Amino acid sequence: MFSLRMRLFTPTMLPARRRTGRAALLGAALWVLCSSTGHALQCDRAPAQPPPLPAAAQADNLGVLKLRLLRYACSDAYDRDVLRTLKRATSYLLRRADKVRRPAVVLDIDETALSNWPEIVANDFGYIPEGPCDAVPLGPCGWRAWVRSAKAGPLKPTLDLFKTARTKGVAVFFLTGRRDRADERAATERNLRDAGYDSWVAVLMRPPEDNGASAATYKAKERQKIEAQGYTIVVNVGDQRSDLDGGHAERGFLVPNPFYYIP
């Protein structure tokens, strides 16, 4: 997750005086967290069934799409899908860890190792890079302020994979699109430790001035650098295709994330 993150343009991105009526109600309805992946607040406003999509000849309705995302996150479907992915990653790790030289695991941070669900729903699935984050759960929540708060919770299946890797003596690298600013690095590392990720080889963050390459290109180059140190990346886990594209890992595992997109 970084400054090029693409999210739905939503009512919370408009001036406060314009966020009234149905938009305000929808924003309030989207304050949710759900269970083992770090989603753990009330889901009573989520629809019992996903709202129907419009006819094929029509464009998708933004409000309906957001309600469907809310339903997915607040049911056990999201937790099941995350757990299924991380079980496969763990199984592959256990098969390969003893068979390669200097085995390593690479983990993305946002929506992979840590869940930013409070920030996501406070912003009604939008992205606000700057500004305070002192009105959660009602929003808005500036991304940089959220990072500095170090309040993201762990995705438990990823934490379990991390602990399995460390028990097996496998090196773990965190590779994120978060920017390598002093305050954000300190907060990110504190957040990881508080969430239970108690040892790693490195947290690789993107330089603040690097706005050229796509996330896919940036991360592939960073994995190549890890390999150049003599490691074999047996497992690479992320929530975006850009976390996995570009090779330099034996196997990539994609955690579900329909909430935003990073190219």
User: What pLDDT, on a 0 to 100 scale, did the predictor assign at position 210?
Assistant: 84
The average pLDDT across 178-184 equals 96
pLDDT in tens, 131-172: 999 988 888 999 999 999 999 999 999 999 999 999 999 999
Q: Under a CB-based contact definition with an 8 Å cutoff, are residues 30 and 46 in contact?
A: no
The chain-wide mean pLDDT, for the chain, equals: 85
User: What pLDDT, on a 0 to 100 scale, did the predictor assign at position 51?
Assistant: 66
User: What pLDDT, on a 0 to 100 scale, did the predictor assign at position 46?
Assistant: 63
The average pLDDT across 41-57 equals 61
Rounded to two decimals, the pTM is 0.82
Residues near 214 by beta carbon (within 8 Å), at least 6 away in sequence: 242, 263
Domain assignments of the chain as residue spans, ordered by start: 11-254
pLDDT of residue 1 exceeding 60, the answer is: no
User: What pLDDT, on a 0 to 100 scale, did the predictor assign at position 3?
Assistant: 40
User: What pLDDT, on a 0 to 100 scale, did the predictor assign at position 165?
Assistant: 98
Instruction: Quickly list DSSP for 130-192.
Output: SS---STTTS---HHHHHHHT-PEE-HHHHHHHHHHHHTT-EEEEEEEEE--HHHHHHHHHHH
pLDDT in tens, 84-140: 999 999 999 999 999 999 999 999 999 999 999 999 999 999 999 999 999 888 889
Return the residue matching tokens 């408009």. 14
CATH number of 11-254: 3.40.50.1000
Question: DSSP label at 50?
Answer: P
User: What pLDDT, on a 0 to 100 scale, did the predictor assign at position 260?
Assistant: 94
- Give the CA count within 13 Å in the CB-facing half-sphere of 91: 7
pLDDT of residue 194 exceeding 80, the answer is: yes
